[in-house]
Structure 1
């Protein structure tokens, strides 16, 4: 036999042996095969039990209604105090915490005060809250099965009443709402700012429709402002940008999710600032990796923009127009919770995250902060410029960000394009070295005049020589 014939004969024989072995195992399964079969059946049962548990997560896409979330662990571990209320619990996430129980007695006191002032029966308010329970539960990312209907409705009533009384008394006055000047909640200078900060934490929210329903039942019939409008006035002391923005806000044209969302919506830049040119879209934008000092060296100028919204940033003809931003002790917590909401809620843009990323890019040191301070772009109440720089450089840690999904992408593209042109560097160097002060200008003019005189003298000397000759 030839070698090819022998190889073919060997392959056929091996295939017959494999088929025979398979038939033998099928007819007489071994102990090992029985063990594998038993293990497989056990695995199937285990997986089927776990799949049956999925029904507890409500397959009807209930997460689409979620708008009040637990802050992701990777963010919480970095700045736990920024996300955890220190004085008052609003909503179910932190209800019953030992450190917050002191405020619970004030909630009951305020509820009693509302009933006495309005003459309403508590049964009416409980029935109104009960009608909203199912919808309100769907707003939270956690199900809170351990809270029965009675406890959840009680929580809604107490917390909503507490929030509304804070808004009413702070805006309309203590006497108007029937409180004394010495009330421990409204008159204490140290308590109210901390409560305001707690009320702007992502985990410390009530659905806005709960506040709206209770407000409609308990407010003065002559009250013309909505809960959202009152909230913007209430938070004006810690977010000055809210000032006067509530006038154009009406319940018929605006629907917020909760108070944190209301504040975020009022801070969003104007449509003009969010507009992206087509040529900017064609170029893949890159983050501005240049601080204020480097941008100034390249010829970029900074100018305070007269806008009530600090995110209205524009770049025109080599000038960065940035609205003023006021920074204080609560700014860090507010920004972190706004960014956490943008990370968790998929139905909103990432405008706050984009703004913080931009400011983080242009601020690297206290020198950068000092220059923005001189220009009126930043005003802070922190200890030093170093603290402001550290604030911006740490806010976006572990925050997901896509430059292509950014309302400032055209600004990034224009600034980087301007920065890369050498002519702007030469022009800026000339301005900084020779035209930065009157004495430098005089020195430059003197040098130019001396050069002109020298050239003139040389010309006449040469001209005289050839004329005589």
Structure 2
């Protein structure tokens, strides 16, 4: 006969450990499976893992030693002790854990280690990208570009407040008022995204939130006018005299050619039809809320 007392005890223990899966601190999410299945590679870092989600990916392990060297370089540059970093991150470990939507399987000590190394890598990377670097390996154009793209991925993030606080903790040793705030170093690194866009700053979220942007068209409709359908093609808009567009309207290679011609995008693939198809795949299942021209 079933012993219900044991079941009651077990369920009570489960209830005592229960906590909300998503908290108000959460700001770093997994890509929904439905979207990831459309193009797995589009949401997976190619060279460097940042944060816990992709830390154990085998194809990213080669960068771990480079990240450690960057951490060492930044600590030496700022004359900062590793102990001060560990103590700070350890004090914020529960909050950092809550910043991620998925339950993290790492122990507190391991998570602190991951955050320490990855934070050091990013801080040194941003510093050297603004002031120059002697690292011939990470300075290779194709390598630097791939790292840049990896840092924009939704799942490849650290909480911004951690980076900000560690930077302030470190540069305080300089006693030099000429050192720019960390947010300016961030803007400097992502300078290519800051041209001709409206940047939305949400400092309490992750790095990627600093690069969220919207195209700013010169001519928008008034609230009483009917907005143009977003499934129209760029080619049709161009024929109507409209010189700006969004990627959801990129249906053909000719659309890509128009966007390249007008300086809205740069086609690094070379093949216009391939660029249109790649963009359409990335934009599937994306919903634009409150969109208007």
Interval of TM-score (by shorter of Structure 1 and Structure 2): 0.7 to 0.9
* Shift, 1:98, TM fit: 2.1
* Shift, 1:99, TM fit: 1.8
| Aligned equivalent of 1:166, options 114, 117, 125 | 125
Equivalent-residue separation in structure 1 for 2:215 and 2:16 (angstroms)? 42
Which residue of 1 is the match for residue 109 of structure 2? 150
Backbone CA RMSD of aligned residues:
3.5
Which residue of 2 is the match for residue 137 of structure 1? 97
Q: Does 1:287 align with 2:287?
A: no
Equivalent-residue separation in structure 2 for 1:273 and 1:302 (angstroms)? 9
* Shift, 1:158, TM fit: 0.8
Unaligned runs of 5+ in 2: none
Aligned counterparts, 1:68-217, within 5 A: 68-144=28-104, 146-174=105-133, 181-185=134-138, 187-217=139-169
CA spacing shift, 1:296–1:190, aligned 2, 3 Å? closer
Query: Which structure would you say has the larger RCO, counting Cα contacts within 8 Å and 6 or more residues apart?
Result: 2
Alpha-carbon contact 1:276-1:407 (below 8 Å) kept: no
CA spacing shift, 1:64–1:93, aligned 2, 3 Å? same
* Shift, 1:127, TM fit: 0.9
Alpha-carbon contact 1:208-1:257 (below 8 Å) kept: yes
Equivalent-residue separation in structure 2 for 1:66 and 1:197 (angstroms)? 23
Which residue of 2 is the match for residue 268 of structure 1? 214
**Deviation string, structure 1 residues 255-311 (Cα, Å, up to 9, x no partner):** 2411111100xx23569978861x24xx7x6734433444566xx2133xxxxxxxx
Moved more, 134-143 or 286-295: 286-295
| Aligned equivalent of 1:58, options 19, 33, 55 | 19
> What is the TM-score normalised by the length of structure 2?
0.82
Alpha-carbon contact 1:275-1:407 (below 8 Å) kept: no
Task: Tell me the matched-pair count.
Answer: 289
* Shift, 1:159, TM fit: 0.7
Unaligned runs of 5+ in 1: 1-37, 175-180, 304-321, 324-354, 412-469
* Shift, 1:46, TM fit: 7.8
Partner SS state of residue 65, structure 1? coil
CA spacing shift, 1:97–1:296, aligned 2, 3 Å? closer
Bigger Rg, which one: 1
Alpha-carbon contact 2:202-2:210 (below 8 Å) kept: no
Partner SS state of residue 380, structure 1? coil
Moved more, 156-165 or 61-70: 61-70
Alpha-carbon contact 2:39-2:281 (below 8 Å) kept: no
Moved more, 155-164 or 382-391: 382-391
> What is the TM-score normalised by the length of structure 1?
0.54
